[in-house]
Copies of this chain bind each other. A is one copy, B any other.
Amino acid sequence: MKRTKVVSALKGTDLGKEVNVKGWVRFHRTSKAVDFIAVNDGSTINNIQVVVSPSDFDPDTLKKITIGSCISVIGTLVKSKGKGQAYEIQCKSIEIYGLCPSDYPMQKKGQSFEYMRKYAHLRLRTNTFGAVFRIRHHLAMAIHKYFDEHGFYYFNTPLLTSSDAEGAGDMFQVTTLDIDHDKIKPGAEGKTDYSEDFFGKKVNLTVSGQLEGELGATALGAIYTFGPTFRAENSNTPRHLAEFWMIEPEIAFLDMTGLMDLEEDFIKFCVKYALDHCQDDLAFLNKMIDKGLLERLQSVLKEDFVRLPYTEGIKILEEAAKNGHHFDNPVSWGIDLASEHERYLVENHFKRPVIMTDYPKDIKAFYMKINEDDKTVQGTDVLFPQIGEIIGGSVREADYDKLLSEIHRRHIPMKDMWWYLDTRKYGSCPHAGFGLGFERLVLFITGMQNIRDVIPFPRTPKNVEF
């Protein structure tokens, strides 16, 4: 007999027919007259209620079907007489796939997120994490659909890299040398001899696919990456992961205005896609996790993002400080904005998302196009309520000489960068791009508070379980 998913059964199209539903028991209420078993199979946050006449079943078997058990149920789909669901199953037979012992760690309701992180493999079976990871899926689809429909090509940049030129963060080293038995051989000048290593040289995990992404954009026109990225930073915060997923589009022939238009249009598309495709899950999270969630998502769609040059932003912050608003970090032109500054602008001053532009060049990366003032660069950070920076982008410097002089000024090691410079040497073109941390987006759209709760198996300092 063909299995019916719970999400389909709950639509009632098979009303009056016999259906076969399979899933895990979310609760089992028992009484003399009737047993209610709620079954969930992950296809929706909603359970299907299975109504069992205890007299029709072996009482010992029925008793064994506790929370967490996996069963297959055959019965008739009927209109429910009870509250809370439109349809339910009048049970004819139950097959037990797997029982669940009483030490099941997800048995109790209302466990803390910290507790559940220890059981990241089983928290997936709870309402909250089911919702979060279904939404995560739909957001990934939104991203692929957006770029596909706009003529971008998905471009897989390498994770193993011998270049560490971007300097975006501390890196993990990757090796096949036998560290375990301390067989590392020092070579010339007391440095390790990598000739026996898999790649014959020192190799790291990428911190960004952007530089390779630019190679794609200056050939295919418009590309995006969507893959894992790594930072070996010893940051134990609710905002940092050692392994996370990044989306990095790069686009030939795009200027500053086009870049800001793209950033805003893209992120609005993702928010709208979630609102359209994840109604039940978002409604649940709005009720249980963050009562302002749906309103905040709707508000992002309603208004144009503010486009604010950094210099203007500093003036607003200085004004606020003058008028008595306390910032822990003092404000002056040239500072890298702290979270409190970004949130003041977004949440207090403008009350909507802000695209901040034209940052001082010394607080931004070497590849950003320098403005004519020679002080600021064509960088764009999209600042969001609650989250702070969600996107960082820029127009890239397309001029070979200017790029090279900036690389020299910053003492960036050049030896592994010849291929990057080639894009400016051979048929250079104006181009731009941005980076978005996928988990930051999932945080914003789910209303979850800790980034460890929006990736299935988080990697953080001293934590690599599962």
Contact = CB atoms under 8 A, between A and B. Distances in A.
B252 A41 contact: yes
Contacts of A170: 176
Contacts of A466: 158, 163, 212, 215, 419
A22 interface: yes
Contact of A398 (B24, B97, B120): B97
Given A158-B459, A428-B70, A461-B198, A219 B174 contact: no
A157 interface: yes
A99 interface: yes
A464 B425 contact: no
Interface in A119-159: 120-122, 124-125, 129-130, 133-134, 136-137, 140-141, 144, 148, 151, 153-159
A47 to B, nearest CB: 13
A137 B154 contact: yes
Nearest to A464: B199
A422 interface: yes
A68 B219 CA distance: 10
A439 to B, nearest CB: 10
A466 B161 CA distance: 7
A69 interface: yes
A455 B122 CA distance: 35
Interface stretch (A201-209, A323-331, A376-384): A201-209
B160 A121 contact: no
Interface in A387-430: 398, 419, 422-430
A154 B135 CA distance: 10
A173 interface: yes
Interface in A171-226: 172-177, 179-182, 184, 186, 190-192, 198-203, 205, 212, 215-216, 218-222
Listed residue (A24, A130, A191) with the most chain B CB atoms within 10 angstroms of its CB:
A24
Interface size class of A (residues with CB under 8 A): 35 or more
A29 interface: no
Interface string A40-53: 01110000000000
A427 B99 contact: yes
A104 interface: yes
A292 interface: no
A177 B179 contact: yes
A244 to B, nearest CB: 9
A245 interface: yes
30 contacts: A3-B253, A5-B151, A22-B252, A22-B429, A23-B221, A43-B151, A97-B427, A97-B429, A98-B427, A101-B425, A104-B426, A124-B216, A124-B219, A130-B220, A136-B153, A136-B156, A141-B144, A141-B148, A156-B245, A156-B456, A158-B456, A159-B228, A160-B459, A173-B174, A173-B176, A175-B179, A198-B461, A199-B463, A216-B456, A419-B465
